[in-house]
């Protein structure tokens, strides 16, 4: 029996904080599953599970083997895996996505969303990005892509039937009609799209028609969701998907950003996943506010399951939230060489190189502390905060020296240095969000880098302005990822912990 929370019960948005953009969701019985874009990172397409749409646990990655996804070093940052659609049909889970710079559109399936997922089915007849899957009553599968175009697809073979056909493409004059999702709801087929670009002008609009291929009439109240031109704390709202709860209620997941600091506002965590209630009026969805505090869904909330604060790198596969740029060859990343340690062997010489040996996790909180016990006796490496090859900060250790480095566009800087203490050392970065803005030029946060003494004392080496590791400065579609790297030789990592510091 469902239980409606007491009046005033709320949940905190975003429901998937940090770099979790382009959410796609489906429900199977009492279980919800959600997929997000992963861009240049491997493994690709994180898969999450929830029983309440609020608390999500990552159960795996859909593209977790080199045979499914192996991005070449020349695939630029913010290319790679775009905009998956996750659906359940005929007893199987289906995930379709675009690999920009890596073969175009593909489809994988699984009976268990935690995996294993199948080898990819290439889709040479499906052009564009942001592919969607929908099945009509006679079993025909329709694939709709950004633009907005549609083609009939055999999802088992990847063959298309006939040429792509243009559908409704959003509001007149609105740029970038994309992220289409097609649904049969009641007597109508609904086509949900994003438009306006994924920046401050982002929006969600919808149309309906009598059949999956239309013709479609737009909602008279489009866009049904946007925060453009407002001072709402959640901006860039768009790229949405709809799901119905077991009690008949409707919900929307969508991306948004939390910009900090002064003007123009900088978002550093990437585009995050938000949850918003939906009600239907005269056959059209009316979307609620994706507020920081959201009324709870009308069923019991379950305890949240987040990635562990600390990872001791026991032998075996890395936990699914650990990601690396483009590829993660086993000979450069292993937990088997030194018991209880992660061993990293250098490929690229630094975070500037696309094939750097780096393993990290998404920064998910505006303020946080990340620590790692590093043994650099056989090489050079450390703890880094990465946005892309041209925008990163790190604290790096060699057998002789610890130094703080900054790369911002064409500029490289050694911020501070000191002799390396004896033995393995704890490197630490503390991110502190700006609490208030008196000066409109104030950045969103600051990053303090240093070494931790055996008694826990933090020895600060340098503090850097966080605005330069933001999307507004660097461009692109990703958010910060923080973790360990090797720039030369071999670096061993005993443990790493991530502690939110937000109040």
pLDDT at res. 6: 32
pLDDT at 302 over 90: no
Going by C-beta distance under 8 Å and a sequence separation of 6 or more, which residues neighbour residue 470?
266, 267, 268, 387, 444
Mapped onto helix, strand or coil, the DSSP state of residue 473 is helix
Q: What is the pLDDT of residues 91-104, one digit of tens each?
A: 999 999 999 999 89
Selection from 289-298, 300-309, 424-433 with the highest mean pLDDT: 424-433
Q: Based on the fold, state whether residues 358 and 455 are members of the same structural domain.
A: yes
Q: Which helix H or strand E contains 471, and what residues bound it?
A: helix 471-474
Compute the average pLDDT of residues 119-144.
97
Is 253 inside any structural domain?
A: no
- Report in angstroms the alpha-carbon separations of 429 from 294, 395, 462, 502: 31, 8, 10, 15
What is the rounded average pLDDT of the residues 377-406? Answer: 97
Domain that holds residue 332: 310-500
Which of 202, 229, 256 terminates a domain? The answer is 229
pLDDT category of residue 303 using cuts at 50, 70 and 90: low
Q: How confident is the model at residue 5 (pLDDT cuts 50, 70, 90)?
A: very low
Residue 209 lies in a domain: yes
C-alpha distances in Å from residue 440, one per residue of 82, 263, 408, 410, 475: 34, 5, 21, 26, 21
Tell me, yes or no, whether 332 and 221 share the same domain.
no
* H or E stretch at 44: strand 44-50
Residue 145, judged by CB atoms within 10 A of its CB (0-12, 13-18, 19+), counts as buried
The domain boundary, picked from 208, 229, 250, lies at: 229
Average pLDDT over residues 469-490: 98
Residue 283 · residue 186 · CB < 8 Å = yes
Average pLDDT over residues 322-331: 96
Q: Which residues are tagged catalytic?
A: 22, 178
CATH, residue 202: 2.115.10.20
Same domain, 190 and 335: no
Q: Which among 253, 153, 152, 142 has a CA at the least distance from the CA of 189?
A: 142
**Same-domain status, 186 and 57:** yes
Question: 350 and 215, same structural domain?
Answer: no
The pLDDT confidence band at residue 298, using thresholds 50, 70 and 90, is: confident
Average pLDDT over residues 465-473: 97
Convert 428-465 into a string of H (helix), E (strand) and C (coil).
EEEEEECCCCCCCCCCCEEEEEEEECCCCCEEEEEEEE
Q: The domain that contains 335 carries what CATH number? A: 2.60.120.200
Read off the pLDDT band of 439 (50, 70, 90): confident
> Is the model's pLDDT at 150 over the cut of 70?
yes
Q: Looking at the domain assignment, is residue 23 inside a domain?
A: no
The answer on 199 and 337 residing in a single domain is no
Determine the Cα angle at 306 with ends 114 and 459, to 5°.
Answer: 130
Asked if 112 and 201 sit in the same domain, the reply is yes
d(C-alpha 372, C-alpha 307), whole Å: 16
- Judged against a pLDDT cut of 90, whether residue 438 lies above it is answered with no
Which pLDDT score, from 0 to 100, does residue 309 have?
A: 85
Q: What is the mean pLDDT of residues 201-224?
A: 97
Of 229, 246, 281, which marks where a domain is finished? 229
- The predicted model gives 214-242 an average pLDDT of 96
Mean pLDDT of the chain: 94
* Residue 388 counted as domain residue: yes
DSSP annotation of 474: H
What pLDDT score does 177 carry? 97
Per-residue pLDDT, averaged over 279-286, amounts to 97
Distance between CA atoms of residues 252 and 449, nearest Å:
39
Q: At 220, is the pLDDT very low, low, confident or very high (cuts 50, 70, 90)?
A: very high
- DSSP secondary structure code for residue 317 in this structure: S
Average pLDDT over residues 377-385: 97
Whether residue 13 lies inside any domain: the answer is no
Strand pairing class (235-244; 250-257): antiparallel
In a domain, 403, yes or no: yes
Q: Are residues 33 and 182 in the same domain?
A: yes
CA distance 332 to 210: 54
- The fraction of the chain above a pLDDT of 90, given in percent, is 90
Does residue 355 share a domain with residue 223? no
- What is the number of alpha carbons within 13 Å of residue 116 lying toward its C-beta? 6
In a domain, 120, yes or no: yes
Are residues 212 and 329 located together in one domain of the fold?
A: no
Question: Mean pLDDT across the stretch 427-444?
Answer: 91
pLDDT band with cut points at 50, 70 and 90 for residue 306 = low
Q: Could you give the number of structural domains in the chain? A: 2
The pLDDT-based confidence of 266 (bands split at 50, 70, 90) is: very high
Q: Based on the domain organization, do 218 and 363 belong to the same domain?
A: no
353 shares a domain with 483: yes
- Is residue 2, in this structure, part of any structural domain at all? no
Q: Is 290 helix (H, G, I), strand (E, B) or coil?
A: coil
């Amino acid at each position: 029996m469902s239980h409606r929370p007491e009046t005033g019960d709320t949940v905190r948005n975003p429901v998937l904080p940090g770099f979790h953009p382009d959410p796609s969701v489906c429900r199977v019985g009492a279980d919800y599953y959600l997929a997000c874009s992963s861009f240049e990172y491997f493994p690709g397409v994180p898969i999450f599970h929830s029983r309440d749409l609020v608390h999500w646990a990552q159960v795996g990655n859909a593209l977790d083997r080199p045979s499914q996804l192996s991005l070449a070093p020349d695939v630029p940052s913010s290319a790679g895996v775009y905009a998956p659609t996750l659906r359940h049909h005929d007893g199987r889970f289906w995930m379709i996505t675009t690999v920009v710079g890596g073969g175009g559109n593909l489809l994988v399936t699984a009976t268990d969303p935690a995996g294993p997922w199948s080898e990819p089915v290439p889709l040479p007849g499906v052009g564009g990005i942001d592919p969607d899957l929908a099945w009509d009553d006679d079993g025909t599968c329709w694939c709709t892509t950004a633009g907005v175009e549609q083609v009939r697809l055999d999802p088992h073979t990847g063959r298309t039937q006939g040429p792509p056909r243009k559908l409704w493409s959003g509001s007149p004059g609105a740029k970038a009609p994309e992220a289409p999702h097609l649904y049969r709801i009641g007597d109508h087929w609904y086509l949900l799209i994003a438009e306006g670009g994924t920046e401050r002008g982002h929006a969600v609009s919808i149309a309906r028609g009598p059949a999956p291929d239309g013709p479609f009439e737009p909602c008279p109240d489009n866009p049904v969701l946007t925060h453009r031109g407002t001072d709402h704390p959640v901006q860039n709202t768009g790229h949405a998907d709809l799901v119905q709860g077991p009690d008949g209620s409707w919900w929307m997941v969508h991306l948004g950003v939390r910009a900090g600091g002064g003007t123009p506002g900088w978002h550093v965590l990437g585009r995050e996943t938000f949850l918003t209630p939906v009600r239907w009026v005269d056959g059209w969805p009316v979307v609620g506010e994706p507020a920081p505090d959201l009324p709870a869904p009308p069923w019991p909330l379950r305890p949240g399951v987040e990635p562990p604060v600390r990872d001791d790198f026991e032998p075996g596969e890395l936990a699914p939230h650990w990601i690396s740029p483009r590829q993660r060859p086993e000979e450069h990343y292993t937990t088997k060489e030194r018991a209880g340690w992660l061993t990293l062997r250098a490929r690229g010489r630094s975070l500037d190189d696309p094939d750097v040996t780096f393993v990290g996790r998404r920064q998910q909180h505006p303020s946080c502390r990340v620590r790692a016990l590093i043994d650099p006796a056989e090489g050079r490496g450390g703890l880094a905060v990465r946005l892309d090859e041209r925008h990163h900060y790190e604290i790096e250790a060699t057998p002789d020296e610890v130094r703080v480095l900054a790369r911002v566009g064409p500029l490289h800087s050694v911020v501070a240095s000191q002799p390396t203490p004896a033995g393995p050392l704890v490197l630490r970065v503390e991110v502190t969000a700006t609490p208030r803005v008196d000066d409109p030029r104030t950045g969103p946060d600051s990053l303090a880098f240093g070494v931790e003494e055996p008694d826990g004392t933090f020895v600060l080496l340098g503090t850097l302005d966080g605005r330069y590791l933001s999307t507004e400065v660097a461009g692109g579609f990703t958010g910060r990822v923080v973790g360990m790297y090797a720039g030369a030789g071999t670096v061993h990592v005993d443990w790493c912990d991530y502690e939110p510091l937000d109040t």
